[in-house]
Amino acid sequence: MRAQTVWSASLVGRPVLCVGTDLVDVADMRATLTRQPRFRTKAFTEAERAYCEIPEDPAERYAVRFAAKEAVLKALGTGLSGAALTEIEVRRAPEGKPSLLLTGRAAALAQAAGVHSWLISLTHTATRAHALVAGVGAGRPW
């Protein structure tokens, strides 16, 4: 059985409990990174910074990760004040599939909401970065 089929089958019967989305302007992110160099360490984990800093212009990668973090906090109903941004890490598998790792208060909020895993979709262009997340529950309630 293909890995994608196994992954899809694991979602059958699991409820989507919350959804969040966010759109970030890449030029705004570029300006923020220039004006506030400490923003990188305030908003992104060491692993995220290592991944984002590879290209000549890292703004697209930072922007889409920021969008994902804000989408998670929207899904959890808190907005940006709900948890530290570094408690939400966007990971990337070797084949490119994104995933989320929540720690600290962000993880506690997700647990309280019944979220056991996340679905995440990221996309970006030279001008816009978009993220969509869905918090998935444990399984059939019956």
Active site residues: 74, 124
The candidate with the shortest Cα–Cα distance to 104, out of 121, 86, 117, is 86
According to DSSP, residue 21 is labeled: E
Does 70 show up as a binding residue in the annotation? Answer: yes
Q: What residues contact 129, with CB distance under 8 A and at least 6 apart?
A: 23, 24, 26, 29, 60, 63, 64, 66, 67, 122, 123
Q: How far apart are CA 46 and CA 14, in angstroms?
A: 32
Does 95 show up as a binding residue in the annotation? Answer: no
Give the residue numbers of the binding site for Mg(2+): 22, 70
Binding site per annotation, positions: 22, 70
